[in-house]
Amino acid sequence: MKKWIIALCSMFCLFLSPVAFVEAAWQPELLVSLGTAGTTLRLSGNVPVVLKRLDNKKVVWQGKSKEFATLTFTDKGWELNGRKLKKADAAALELTVEDERNLSKLVSTYDNKSYRGALRLIPRKGSLQLLNRVTVEEYLQGVVPEEMPAEWNPEAVKAQAVAARTYALRQRKRHAKEGFDVCATTHCQQYGGVAVERAAANQAVKATSGEVLESHGALVDALFHTDSGGMTENSEDVWGSRIDCLRAAKEVRTETYPWEKNITVQKFSELLVRRGKNIGTLKKIELSPIKIGKASKDRTVSGRVKQVTFVGKNGKASITGNDLRSMLGLKSTLFGMTMNRNVLFIKGYGWGHGLGMSQHGAKAYADSEHYDYKQILQHYYRGAELKKLY
């Protein structure tokens, strides 16, 4: 009985020890696609590393800290520094640490490109698919300065860190059919690894560690964009479905990020024909004047274009603002259109879809209104709660 009590007390104390607490404060991982590379890579790690098979976890090579090795995949399997790598066969490999609890300390380098966390190498025909297995906080260090300038107001950068963390965790398994969670491009979030890291951005990530936005117990879709032009948008006017936290929000300033684009009537008519809308020679454009923050029959509550009607010699064609943006490569749907001497003149504001947080707007609220990051997030993600996930 005495031995049993001692053993139980020992386990209880271990659970409460600082080390055990760190382990309990779990941090999720992401599998990020870095694209493909040739069949030969020069690899190293900043700490001692192991090269493991993914299928059976067997170690096929151990490397010292900062020791470089040249790994090549051939039709006969893997070669390390010109010699056949025993027990590797044609299996997918991972460069990682022996003790997975130290994953956040690892920086993997291939061909002078460095990424925090482990590096997976998956043979493909004539190339290698590269995946970065990385803890979320270390991933964010390579995301936040790519999405927002690190030298901006620290409160805006903190808001960006929380939005990026929430977005990444909600988007996990987005590319599950392709064998990873997220990609390293703007399709998911721009991710540049160690090369793009900045001290100020790292500090914003650290200051908000583990914090995410939730609504009704689930992660919100924490979308963000460069500049709203004066007012963000309701989700249903972009996606067609209502999302409670993605409501139109006013900005400190309006008519921000002005832009222009012109196209000849002839070229525009050709684009319409390709989309099955042959209305003949364009005679008239039906679109109400742009008024930011004021809805009309063809504009949303923020003033973005719902649809434009084009009147031609042979009939009419109505096109949504989103389709026009895609068709003409416009920066936003917050625009006006006029026609003069066979040229369409398009003038607009903002850059992006207009949903969620405006990055330039966040900076303006931090700079001129002295909002902290929590107030910024509350402004752009209405009703969302800030939670400490880990």
Pick from 261, 246, 347: nearest CA to 302:
246
Amino acid symbol at 215: S
Between residues 24 and 251, the one the model is more confident about = 251
Binning pLDDT at 50, 70 and 90, where does residue 24 land?
Answer: very low
Kindly state the tokens that stand for 104.
Answer: 């956040």
pLDDT digits 0-9 by tens, 109-140: 999 999 999 999 999 988 999 999 999 999 99
Residue 351 pLDDT exceeds 90: yes
What pLDDT does 27 receive? 86
Task: Single out the residue of 362, 379, 381, 378 nearest to residue 220, CA to CA.
Answer: 381
3-state DSSP assignment of residue 260: strand
For the cut 50, the answer to whether the pLDDT of residue 169 exceeds it is: yes
Euclidean distance between CA atoms 14 and 6, whole angstroms? 12
pTM of the model: 0.89
- pLDDT greater than 80 at residue 156: yes
Q: Is the pLDDT of residue 235 over 50?
A: yes
pLDDT greater at residue 75 or residue 231? 231
Instruction: Output the pLDDT for position 125.
Output: 86
CB 162 within 8 A of CB 212: yes
Kindly calculate the radius of gyration of the chain based on its CA atoms and give it in whole angstroms.
26
Task: Show Cβ contacts of residue 65 under 8 Å, excluding neighbours closer than 6 positions.
Answer: 45, 46, 47, 48
Q: What is the pLDDT of residues 321-343, one digit of tens each?
A: 999 999 999 999 999 999 998 99
Distances in whole angstroms, Cα of residue 128 to Cα of each of 74, 75, 212:
11, 13, 34
The pLDDT assigned to 195 comes to 97
CA distance 171 to 139: 14
What would the two tokens of residue 192 be?
A: 């540049």
Structure confidence at residue 9 (pLDDT): 38
63-71: long-range pairs with CB below 8 Å, 24+: 68/42, 68/43, 68/44, 69/42, 69/43, 69/44, 70/40, 70/41, 70/42, 70/43, 71/40, 71/41, 71/42, 71/43, 71/121
- Residue 20 — pLDDT band, cuts 50, 70, 90? very low
The Cα 228–Cα 293 span in angstroms is 11
**Among 23-32, 122-131, 142-151, 363-372, where is mean pLDDT lowest?**
23-32
Average pLDDT over residues 354-363: 98
Residue-wise pLDDT for 49-65, tens only, equals: 999 999 999 999 999 99
Average pLDDT over residues 215-219: 94
- Condensed to tens digits (0 to 9), the pLDDT of residues 170-195 reads 999 899 999 999 999 999 999 999 99
Does residue 158 carry a pLDDT above 50? yes
Residue 18 has pLDDT above 90, yes or no: no
Q: How far apart are CA 50 and CA 204, in angstroms?
A: 32
Largest CA distance in the chain: 97
Rounded to whole angstroms, how far apart are CA atoms 102 and 117? 9
Strand-pair category, 69-74 with 40-45: antiparallel
Per-residue pLDDT tens over the stretch 276-324:
999 998 999 999 999 999 999 999 999 999 999 999 999 999 999 999 9
Would you place residue 5 in the very low, low, confident or very high pLDDT band (cuts 50, 70, 90)? very low
CA distance 183 to 179: 11
Q: How open is the CA angle 23-92-33, to the nearest 5 degrees?
A: 70
Average pLDDT of the chain to the nearest whole number: 92
Strands 282-286 vs 258-264: parallel, antiparallel or unpaired:
unpaired
Which tokens is 217 given? 């117990």
